[in-house]
Amino acid sequence: MISNRKTVFTALVGSYNYNLSTTDSDKDYKAFFLPTFDDLYYGDKQSLSKTSLEKDIEYHDIRKLPIMLWKSNVNFVETLFSVEYLDSDNKFFNYLFEKREDIARMNLPYLYEACQGMFYQKKKEYERDIIKDTKKTYKHAMSALRIIDFLHRYKQNDFSSFKSAIWYPNNDSYKDFLLSVRSGNVCGIESLLINKEKSLESIKDYYKLIEPNKELKMEIDATLKQHIFLQIF
């Protein structure tokens, strides 16, 4: 907890939310806190990480969240679909949770670009670490494959369920495949990554041609502004 700041909600992030956790998976959290009057006066927006023996927590000023949601940063959108929440008993979190599917598809052109960017980042990290053969080498490959698979799954359900697009049921054969990739038990990773990259073009227009929901963005901003006002003044 950050001193003198009230937490709006804390969400578990990462592999647990995809049903892809293993015995080696750590529990990582994102926490969002209200600004103080001084933060508002001086214009500060703070973010920091805090690590304990049990879990890693990233703390963010709640004013950052609407920006990240509008940019469709998947790591932040995911916080609305977590399997575990802490400190979430308040009106603004309830508002976000109720609107979460609308928020997830609020800016599909940005979502496509954000996922594409994440794919290239994880692919680059895999290519870097394959030389060193580090513990995270194949985790990078799995993450790259998963994020493109998510785009396909989300498009296939007509953007109706972000939750089902990120979640792999136990009877899903692709879950077993991804976990095998993570374990380093799949050959031809480079070819798999190339094929996934090529598949992006086939779904590009489904995302890029849909108009962003600017009205919802304005509604989120106004709702948060009101929540902060009522909590501080």
Q: What is the pLDDT of residues 158-193, one digit of tens each?
A: 999 999 999 999 999 999 999 999 999 999 999 999
Query: How far is residue 186's CA from residue 120's CA, in Å, rounded to a whole number?
Result: 20
The phi and psi torsions of 11 (rounded to 5 degrees) equal: -125, 135
Q: DSSP of 145-177, one letter per residue?
A: HHHHHHHHHHHHTTTS-HHHHH---TT-HHHHH
For residue 232, give the amino acid letter: I
Residue scoring higher pLDDT (96 or 36): 96
- Output the pLDDT for position 133: 73
Give the count of alpha carbons within 13 A of 169, CB side only.
Answer: 3
Average pLDDT, the chain: 92
What SS3 class is residue 136?
A: coil
- Tell me the pTM: 0.92
Q: How deeply is 41 buried, as exposed, middle or buried, from its count of CB atoms within 10 A (0-12, 13-18, 19+)?
A: exposed
Query: Average pLDDT for residues 67-76, to the nearest whole number?
Result: 96
Split at pLDDT 50, 70, 90, the class of 39 is confident
Q: Please tell me the distance from the alpha carbon of residue 126 to that of residue 113, in angstroms, as a whole number.
A: 20
CA separation, residue 126 to residues 26, 63, 227 (Å): 20, 33, 42
Span 5-20, pLDDT tens digits: 889 999 999 999 999 9
- 48-62, 139-153, 176-190: the lowest-pLDDT one: 48-62
